[in-house]
Amino acid sequence: MAAIFQGVGAAAALSSSPSNSFDSKKFVSSPCRSFSVRKGASFAVVRSDGRVNLNPKSRRAQQLISNAVATKSDSAAASSSSKPGHELLLFEALQEGLEEEMERDPHVCVMGEDVGHYGGSYKVTKGLAKKFGDLRVLDTPIAENSFTGMGIGAAMTGLRPVVEGMNMGFLLLAFNQISNNCGMLHYTSGGQFTIPIVIRGPGGVGRQLGAEHSQRLESYLQSIPGIQMVACSTPYNAKGLMKAAIRSENPVILFEHVLLYNLKERIPDEDYICNLEEAEMVRPGEHVTILTYSRMRYHVMQAAKTLVNKGYDPEIIDIRSLKPFDLYTIGNSVKKTHHVLIVEECMRTGGVGASLTAAITENFNDYLDAPIMCLSSQDVPTPYAGTLEEVTIVQPAQIVKAVEQLCQ
Amino acid sequence: MNGASCAAKISTQPFSLNPTSPTSHDNPLVSPKPTSLFLGSTRKLRLSSSSKLNLHRRSGTVVAVSDVVKQKKSKSTPSLLITKEEGLELYEDMILGRAFEDMCAQMYYRGKMFGFVHLYNGQEAVSTGFIKLLKQQDSVVSTYRDHVHALSKGVPARAVMSELFGKTTGCCRGQGGSMHMFSREHNLLGGFAFIGEGIPVATGAAFTSKYKREVLKEADCDHVTLAFFGDGTCNNGQFFECLNMAALWKLPIVFVVENNLWAIGMSHLRATSDPQIYKKGPAFGMPGIHVDGMDVLKVREVAKEAIGRARRGEGPTLVECETYRFRGHSLADPDELRDPGSHLNPFFSQVQKCHLIQCRAASLAAEKAHYAARDPITALKKYLIENSLASEADLKAIDKKIDEVVEDAVEFADESPVPSRSQLLENVFADPKGFGIGPDGRYRCEDPKFTEGTAHV
C-alpha cells in the first residue's frame, strides 16, 4: 500500500508542472518503488527546473540522471540524449568543468596553493598547468588574504579568476577580502566594477582531520551581502555548478566537501550547467520535507532507506544554493508535506540551517503542521578521536528518529 | 638612524623628528643632492643577501634604479626638471587638491557630508608627482585618503563632491562615500576603508596587465598600477605578502608609501621596529627608494623611473615618500593626538615627564612648523617663478580657475538629487538573479518591489 501511495504521489508531483519537458520513460528510481519504469539506480533525481514561471532561457536541456549514493555505483545511463555519457569521479567532474570553461574563455584563470605543478591537493586542477601554463594556473605563496585580494583585483580588471582555498578553513584568513571587497565592491563602486570571481575549496568534517581542518565556512560567510554560495554534492552538479559559477557575473563561493571527491557518477557528454539559484529534488515524497546539502545528503539518503522500510515517504531536497535559498522548490515542498526537517553539517548556532529555519518560518508558517526541526552539528570544535567526531555530526539514525518524531 | 638609537636617546633629549632622511630641507628644488635618495641601503642589502638568492635576477633589478636615477641626478641642471606646461599642470593639480580638500572641510562643518572624511592637505606632491605621469589605462589604488588621488587621476571634481554629499550623481552613485572613490573610466580601483586591503587589489590589477600581455597576447599592454598607502599599513601582513608576490612574478606595480609619520595618533616610530620603510623593498627583491614627498619634482623624478621600470616589465618598486598631513587624521580627529604627552614612557618620573612634555610640545610644534615651511605648493610656486617658468599672474589665474571649479563642484553637488529608494537594491549584484527565487517561483529581482527598493531581501 505504501508503495502504491508513493507511486501516486510521485506521479502527481511530476505531472504538476506543466512545462516539464522530461520524458517520464527516462525516470529512474529504485526497484522497490512502484513508479519506476527502469530499474538499476538507487534514487531518482529530478532536475528542479520543471517550472512554469521561469525564463526558459535560463534552463538547460532538462534531463534526468540517476544519483550515485556513496556506496553504490551507477550502472544505467539516464541521459535523454543519444550520447551515452561518461563516468567519472566528483573531483574529475570539477576538473572537467574548470577545463572546459578555461578552454571556452581565455580570461578564466586559477589561483591557489599547489594548484599548478602539484595539480591541486585534491587533484581538481590536475594537468591544467601543463595545458594552460603557469600564469593561467598560478601557484601562489601561502598568503590567502592577499591572493584572494589579488583575484578580486584581477576580476575587477577583466579576468575571471577561480581562487582555490586548499581547505575552506584557510579562507578564514581571507575573510577581510571576501567580505569587504568581494561582496561589497560592486555596490560601493556604484556598480562600476564587477567581480566575476569563483572562490572554491573543500570544507566540512572529514575523517579525523582535526578541528581546524573540519570547518564549515558557509555559516560564517552567509551574512556577507553581494555573494552567492552554492554547495555541490554529486559529480553532475559539481560540474554544472562549477561552470555556472565561472560564467556568473556575481562572486560565487562554491563549497565542496572533503569526503565527496571520490563519488562516481555517469554524467552527460554534452555541455550543461546547473542553475546557481535552484535547489535539487532528490526524492519526491509526501510525508516530510528533508532539506539538506553537501555530504549530509548522503546521510539523509541512508536514513531514507530505513524510513521507507518503516513506511515513511520523505521528500528529499538538496538545497544546493546556500545563499540565496530557492524558496520556490522549498516552499512547494512545505506546502505539500507540512513537515520540515533540516539536516546540515553546520554547527547549531548561526549555521545555514538556522537561516533556513528563519526563512521558512517567515514565508511558509501557515503551511506547517509542526515546528521545523533542524539537525546540525554540535557546537563543538571537531574532535580528532573518531568516536567523538562521529557524534559531533548528524548520523542517519538521528535523522530517522527525527522524522519519526516529526511525523507523529 | 633606527628605532634602537632613538630609544637610547629618549632619556636625554626629545625624539629626533626626521630620522630617516638627510635630505636638504632648505632649498628643496635647487641642486638635488645625488646621495639624498638612496642612502646606499639598497646596495648594502643586495650584497648581504645575494648569496642566498638568484644573483642575476636581483642585481639586475636593484642596481638599475639607483644607477639610472643617480646618473640623472648628477647630469640634470637644477632649473630644467620640467617644462612650463608641465609646471603649470603640476601646479594646477596640486592647487585643485588643496582647494578641494579645504572646501571639504568647510562643507563637513556645515553638515553637507558626514562620517569619516580624511583630508590630504600637505601630501599633494605625492599624488601629483606620481599620477600625472600615468596614462588613462593605468590603474590607481588608494586608501580612505583618496579624494586627491581621484582628482589627479581625472575624476571630475563634480563627481567627487557629489559622492561626498551622498548624491546620486556622485562617482559611485552616492553608495561609496569619502572612503570609496571608484571610477571605471579613469581606472581608479578604490578607495578602501581598511588599511592594507587595497594592496592585494592593486596587485591583482597588475597581474591582469601581465596576463593580458603574456596570455592574451595583447603585446602592447604595458599598463601600470600604483598602490598608495601609509606608514601604518607597512606593518600589515597584506603589505608584505604583496611585496613578495609582486616581486616574485615581476608585476608592473609601484608601491607608494605616503609616510606622514602618523597613524591617527600612533607615531610611526612607536609602531615600527625599523622605521625606514624603503629598506623593506630589497628584502623582497625590489628596489626601495626614499624620496622627499614634500617636493613634487623630486617625487616626479623617482616616479618616472619606477613607473618606467614597471612598464618595461622589470618588476615592482617600493617608493617611500616622506610627507606630512597638515590636518588631523580625519575631520573627526581634533588633532590633539599629535600632542605632547602621548609618547612618554610611563616609568619616567614626574620631573622627567614635565621636561619631556615641554620639549615634546616644543618639538611637535616644531614638527608642524617644519613641514608647513615645506608646503609643496609654496615650493613649486617658488621654483616656477624663480626659474621664470611662470609668472605670478599665470599662477593667480590658475588659483582663480580652480576656485571656480571647486565652487562649481559644490553647486553641482548641492543641486543634485539624493538617491531614490529604488536605488537601494540595484548594485548589490551584477547579475540580480543572485537575490534568488522567491516563493512564487519568479526571480526576486523581477518583483516590482525590488525595483522600488522596498522588497525585503
For each of the domains in chain A, give its residue range(s) and CATH number, in order of start: 86-268 (3.40.50.970), 280-407 (3.40.50.920)
Residue located via cell numbers 559539481 = A238
- B443 secondary structure, DSSP code: B
On average, the pLDDT of chain B sits at: 83
Q: Kindly state whether residues B94 and B207 are assigned to the same domain.
A: yes
How far apart are the CA of A308 and the nearest CA of chain B, in angstroms?
A: 29
Instruction: Classify residue B197: in a domain, yes or no.
Output: yes
Q: Which domain-ending residue is among B75, B94, B121?
A: B75
- Return the SS3 of B420: coil
Q: Kindly state whether residues B399 and B440 are assigned to the same domain.
A: no
> Does A257 participate in catalysis according to the annotation?
no
Query: How far is the C-alpha of B125 from the C-alpha of A252, rounded, in Å?
Result: 41
Catalytic residue among A92, A96, A113, A144: A144
Q: b/e string for B406-430 if b means 16 or more Cβ within 10 A?
A: beebbebbeebeebeeebbbbbbbb
Instruction: Classify residue B1: in a domain, yes or no.
Output: no
Q: Nearest residue of B to residue A159 by CA position? A: B208
How far apart are the CA of B445 and the nearest CA of chain A, in angstroms?
A: 12
CATH number at residue B175: 3.40.50.970
Q: Which residues pair with B400 in a beta bridge?
A: none
Query: How far is the C-alpha of B204 from the C-alpha of A152, rounded, in Å?
Result: 7
> What radius of gyration, in Å, describes the C-alpha atoms of chain A?
20
Overall size of chain B counted in residues: 457
Confidence tier at B212 by pLDDT (50, 70, 90): very high
Q: Kindly state whether residues B67 and B89 are assigned to the same domain.
A: no
Q: Kindly state whether residues B87 and B148 are assigned to the same domain.
A: yes
Number of domains into which chain B is organized: 3
Question: Would you state the cell numbers that stand for residue B62, as one nine-digit string?
Answer: 636593484
Per-residue pLDDT at B380: 96
Domain range holding B28? Answer: 21-75
Query: How far is the C-alpha of B122 from the C-alpha of B110, rounded, in Å?
Result: 23
Confidence tier at B457 by pLDDT (50, 70, 90): low
Q: Which residues pair with B259 in a beta bridge?
A: B322
Distance of CA B119 to the CA centre of its chain: 11
**Contact between chains at A249 and B431 (C-beta distance less than 8 A):** yes
Q: Kindly state whether residues B308 and B365 are assigned to the same domain.
A: yes
B387 exposed, middle or buried (CB, 10 Å; 0-12, 13-18, 19+)?
Answer: middle
Q: Kindly state whether residues B320 and B361 are assigned to the same domain.
A: yes
Confidence tier at B78 by pLDDT (50, 70, 90): low
Is residue B284 within 8 A of residue B348, CB to CB? The reply is no
Query: How far is the C-alpha of B237 from the C-alpha of B228, rounded, in Å?
Result: 16
Per-residue pLDDT at B352: 67
Per-residue pLDDT at B346: 55
Q: What is the mean pLDDT of residues B297-322?
A: 97
> Does A117 participate in catalysis according to the annotation?
no
Per-residue pLDDT at A39: 40
Of B175, B183, B197, the CB nearest to A187: B175
Q: Kindly state whether residues B379 and B436 are assigned to the same domain.
A: no
Walk along chain A (408 residues) in steps of 10 and give the mean pLDDT of each run: 39 38 37 38 38 39 33 38 86 97 98 96 96 97 97 98 97 96 95 97 96 96 96 97 98 97 96 97 97 97 97 97 97 97 96 96 96 96 96 97 94
Q: Nearest residue of B to residue A248 by CA position? A: B431
**Contact between chains at A143 and B245 (C-beta distance less than 8 A):** yes
pLDDT digits (tens, 9 = 90+) for B245-296: 999 999 999 999 999 999 988 999 999 999 999 999 999 999 999 999 999 9
Q: Kindly state whether residues B430 and B387 are assigned to the same domain.
A: no
On whether ipTM exceeds 0.90, the answer is no
State which amino acid sits at residue B374.
Answer: R
Query: How far is the C-alpha of A100 from the C-alpha of A96, rounded, in Å?
Result: 6
Question: Would you state the cell numbers that stand for residue A270, as one nine-digit string?
Answer: 554534452
Query: How far is the C-alpha of A48 from the C-alpha of A356, rounded, in Å?
Result: 19
Query: How far is the C-alpha of A345 from the C-alpha of A216, rounded, in Å?
Result: 7
Per-residue pLDDT at A108: 98
Kindly list the residues from chain B whose CB atom is less than 8 angstroms away from the CB atom of residue A107: 216
Q: What is the mean pLDDT of residues B67-93?
A: 72
Q: Kindly state whether residues B167 and B236 are assigned to the same domain.
A: yes
Q: Which domain-ending residue is among B48, B75, B102?
A: B75
Q: Which domain-ending residue is among B58, B75, B92?
A: B75
Q: Kindly state whether residues B32 and B168 are assigned to the same domain.
A: no
Instruction: Classify residue B396: in a domain, yes or no.
Output: yes
Question: Would you state the cell numbers that stand for residue A126, as one nine-digit string?
Answer: 590536475
Instruction: Classify residue B406: in a domain, yes or no.
Output: yes
Q: Kindly state whether residues B405 and B428 are assigned to the same domain.
A: no
Listed residue (A188, A192, A225) closest to B178, CA to CA: A188
Q: Which residues pair with B347 in a beta bridge?
A: none
Instruction: Classify residue B10: in a domain, yes or no.
Output: no
Instruction: Classify residue B58: in a domain, yes or no.
Output: yes
Confidence tier at B338 by pLDDT (50, 70, 90): low
**Contact between chains at B189 and A58 (C-beta distance less than 8 A):** no
Instruction: Classify residue B14: in a domain, yes or no.
Output: no
pTM (two decimals): 0.81
- Alpha-carbon distances, residue B442 vs A5, A277, B439 (angstroms): 31, 11, 8
Confidence tier at B348 by pLDDT (50, 70, 90): low
How many CB atoms are closer than 10 A to CB B299?
27
Kindly list the residues from chain B whose CB atom is less than 8 angstroms away from the CB atom of residue A140: 245
Among B63-67, B292-296, B453-457, the minimum mean pLDDT is found in B63-67
How far apart are the CA of A253 and the nearest CA of chain B, in angstroms?
A: 12
Q: Kindly state whether residues B255 and B313 are assigned to the same domain.
A: yes
Query: How far is the C-alpha of B205 from the C-alpha of B251, rounded, in Å?
Result: 9
Instruction: Classify residue B12: in a domain, yes or no.
Output: no
